[in-house]
Amino acid sequence: MDLVQIFVDESFEHLQALEEALLELEDSPGNAELINTAFRAMHTIKGSAGMVGFDHVSYFTHHLETFFDRVRNGEFALTAAMSSLILECRDHIKSLIEQQSPPELMVQSEALLARLHQLAPVTQSAPATAPAKSTVSEADSLAGYWRIEMTPHTTTFTEGFDVLPVIRELQGLGESLVSYRWHAPDTPFNPLSCMLHFTLLLSCNVPRSSIDEAFMFVEGDWQIQIEKISVLEDARLGDLLVENGVVSTEQMEMMLDSKPRTGEVLRDKGIATDHQINQALQQQEFIRKQTQSQDAPQQTLKVPASKLDSLMNLVGELVIVQSAISQHAVETNDDKLKTIAEELAMLTAGVRDHTFDIRMLPIGSTFGRFRRLIRDLSVDLKKEVRLHTFGAETEMDKMVLERIGDPLVHLLRNSLDHGIEMPEVRAEKGKPREGSITLGAVHEDGQIKIVIKDDGGGLNTDRIRQKAIERGLINEHSQLNDDHIHQLIFEPGFSTAEKVSDVSGRGVGMDVVKTSIESLQGTIHISSHAGQGTQINIYLPLTLAIIDGLMVKVGDEHFILPLSAVEECVESPREYHRQGPRLIKHRGERISAARLREAFSITGEGPAIEQTIVTRIADERFGITVDEVVGQHQTVIKNLGKMYRQVRGLLGATILGNGNVALILDVADFYEQCKYQLAQSTLGANVNVKPH
């Protein structure tokens, strides 16, 4: 990858960070950390743009950098108008980089800068008030460390207590740095008194409760102060010396007037000893390390995606070869080969898992984009909406993440457009004027669950039902409960919006969303309560390329069902020759079931004892009847040839160890097919489930 490409990629990341910081600043105005993020983003782009010859970008970002520096120094506060303008500038920078600064854009730069200078107050010689010491509340920030100050009681030692166990326990909690000083240096030394004061810096991922627990027996006797410090920028040596009580603020300010290096000056003037300065230097080092470890996720090695993809393919091939060897080892009953095959299986699994892990990205990286979307749309629609997110750290496969973006945009738009009511309407209903949309992700049962929830008006069940009848999706006599009716909005060509709006288009959408999710082997489910809101749950597999499957056999054909969908297998005598999907009793519940033999028109008769695999799709159970269950099988999905593209109910195929091909069943899609057939058959018709 060449330097320019690296610069472009990196700049986009920084622009993203800038945007996120700006949007978050709307929620927490004046948050020093966020302002600093924005500043750093501009600062970095400015620097690297200069290096790769994007002089105009460098020039433009320089002004923004200065702007944020002034905000950071408390010269003026960031207003909403400024935020909007900066967002414009952000988009402008993106265009500048993408289009390599054509003259017309450069003209635009000047216009933007002129507006920026208008909004930002004229520079004053010096800020009137000293910049407030930046403190960020615990909840605001993950970055930071604990600063624990403790003065053991003077009688600590003579009371049979030692400071060592307590401090040892604290240090055992996480990365830490301890330093001491004499609590009251002027008091005459008494070897029996505890005359020390300790400062412990502790990594912030230690829970407060563990810290408190360490002080269990000394609370009340010791003076203890526990404070969470957010790491905003490099800790200054001077500040640390002041905090450590080595020098006073006044002394420090005096020093700062006379430029040279703080430590040296203080030492030379005899204000601080070497020991005190060294301790502060160590603290500085510790804090830097904490900051860096917070930044660590960004300091990553960049690899072109194509390299990852080919690695993935190779791993896929490796898995196939490995299972061929395992199968061969079992067939030949060669003990030595079996041992080797087992070892190979373990190693392959390791390689596979690590490769997947490399491809995993946190979903949070896309949240910023959605935040912006909601913000812009709510302005357009004159609605007041706040986007809440959770589970930003939830990781999913890169490819899944890339392909889930558009469906999510669509769903969010829908929530905003159709779900959330106008502020006045909400107020009338006794809801807060500001609507809320929640977007989040969690890992659940080996799947990823993405939730999109709004507190809007909810779905109009009657209208959907009526529409579905009009569209011929359901029969007037269909006995469907509300939940079933709600799912109808995912059917092709369904729209209930009273008028077509720019935002969510013409009701193409929900079915497209569903198709995209299904193409990712996912399922989608909507639940809604009139007047209270709507929740959409999307379940996605952790990864796409390799699945753990259950291999089954029908006649001579092998099929693989994704194991994530399988609940259990039950055995039953083939009761009667009824064709088509049927209802079976399972654990006191009636569930529909279909025979693969019929669905795929496999000739021949099934065995006397059939196996039915009970699967679960979203919240429903469905039985798939086969001849024989072969066992668990890990498999690489190969795309089906063009011929089979149109075959519904199949995900793809895989090559078995013995060279045969097995078809991988798309359980959710297969169920859809059968459900439709079943509905028809209960209405009298009796049609074979056949792929079309």
406: tokens are 């558009």
Scanning 429-543, the segments in alpha helix (DSSP H) are 461-470, 482-487, 510-519
Residue 101 or 199 having the CB closest to another protein: 199
Number of chain residues interacting with another protein (CB under 8 A):
34
Across 133-160, b (16+ Cβ under 10 Å) vs e yields ebebeeebbebbbbbbbbbbbbebbeee
8 Å CB contact between 521 and 541: yes
Instruction: Establish if 179 lies at the interface with another protein (CB under 8 A).
Output: yes
Distances, alpha carbon 195 to alpha carbons 150, 152, 155, 168, 199, in Å: 11, 8, 9, 18, 14
Residue 152 or 316 having the CB closest to another protein: 152
Which segment (162-170, 336-344, 502-510, 665-673) binds another protein by CB under 8 A? Answer: 162-170
Residue 16 or 179 having the CB closest to another protein: 179
Instruction: Establish if 178 lies at the interface with another protein (CB under 8 A).
Output: yes
Write the DSSP assignment of 205-222 as a string of letters. Answer: TS-HHHHHHHTTTTBTTB
Residue 267 or 338 having the CB closest to another protein: 267
Instruction: Establish if 284 lies at the interface with another protein (CB under 8 A).
Output: no
Q: Are strands 435-444 and 144-151 parallel, antiparallel or unpaired?
A: unpaired
Which segment (214-222, 346-354, 547-555, 611-619) binds another protein by CB under 8 A? Answer: 214-222
Taking the complex as a whole, the smallest distance from the CB of residue 27 to another protein amounts, in Å, to 40
Taking the complex as a whole, the smallest distance from the CB of residue 181 to another protein amounts, in Å, to 9
Instruction: Establish if 192 lies at the interface with another protein (CB under 8 A).
Output: yes
Which segment (195-203, 302-310, 441-449, 684-692) binds another protein by CB under 8 A? Answer: 195-203
Instruction: Establish if 28 lies at the interface with another protein (CB under 8 A).
Output: no
Residue 182 or 644 having the CB closest to another protein: 182
Taking the complex as a whole, the smallest distance from the CB of residue 153 to another protein amounts, in Å, to 12
Of 87, 119, 163, 360, the residue at the interface with another protein (CB under 8 A) is: 163
Taking the complex as a whole, the smallest distance from the CB of residue 233 to another protein amounts, in Å, to 25
Which segment (63-71, 72-80, 169-177, 292-300) binds another protein by CB under 8 A? Answer: 169-177
8 Å CB contact between 327 and 342: no
Segment holding 390, helix H or strand E: strand 385-390
Which segment (36-44, 134-142, 209-217, 387-395) binds another protein by CB under 8 A? Answer: 209-217
Can you say whether residue 220 is alpha, beta or left, with left for phi > 0 and alpha for psi between -120 and 50 degrees?
left
Residue 158 or 223 having the CB closest to another protein: 158
Give me the residues paired with residue 182 across strands: 196
Instruction: Name the nearest CA neighbour of 671 among 498, 460, 487.
Output: 487
How many angstroms separate the CA atoms of 389 and 411, rounded?
15
Instruction: Establish if 270 lies at the interface with another protein (CB under 8 A).
Output: no
Which segment (171-179, 334-342, 360-368, 385-393) binds another protein by CB under 8 A? Answer: 171-179
594: tokens are 């279909």
The torsion defined by the Cα of 375, 380, 386 and 392, in degrees rounded to 10, comes to: -40
Instruction: Establish if 275 lies at the interface with another protein (CB under 8 A).
Output: yes
Q: What burial class does residue 250 get, using C-beta atoms within 10 Å of its C-beta: 0-12 exposed, 13-18 middle, 19+ buried?
A: exposed
8 Å CB contact between 460 and 486: no
Instruction: Establish if 641 lies at the interface with another protein (CB under 8 A).
Output: no
Taking the complex as a whole, the smallest distance from the CB of residue 168 to another protein amounts, in Å, to 5
Instruction: Establish if 157 lies at the interface with another protein (CB under 8 A).
Output: yes
Instruction: Establish if 195 lies at the interface with another protein (CB under 8 A).
Output: yes
Instruction: Name the nearest CA neighbour of 266 among 251, 285, 249, 282.
Output: 251
Question: Which 117-156 residues touch another protein, going by CB under 8 A?
Answer: 152, 156
Residue 283 or 535 having the CB closest to another protein: 283
Taking the complex as a whole, the smallest distance from the CB of residue 173 to another protein amounts, in Å, to 13
Site string for another protein, 216-255 (x = CB under 8 A): xx--------------------------------------
How many angstroms separate the CA atoms of 164 and 632, rounded?
55
Distances, alpha carbon 102 to alpha carbons 94, 105, 107, 570, in Å: 13, 6, 9, 68
149: tokens are 């100050």
Residue type, 91: D
8 Å CB contact between 496 and 463: yes
Taking the complex as a whole, the smallest distance from the CB of residue 588 to another protein amounts, in Å, to 43
Write out the residues near another protein by the rule CB under 8 A.
152, 156-169, 171, 177-180, 189, 191-192, 194-196, 198-199, 214, 216-217, 275, 278-279
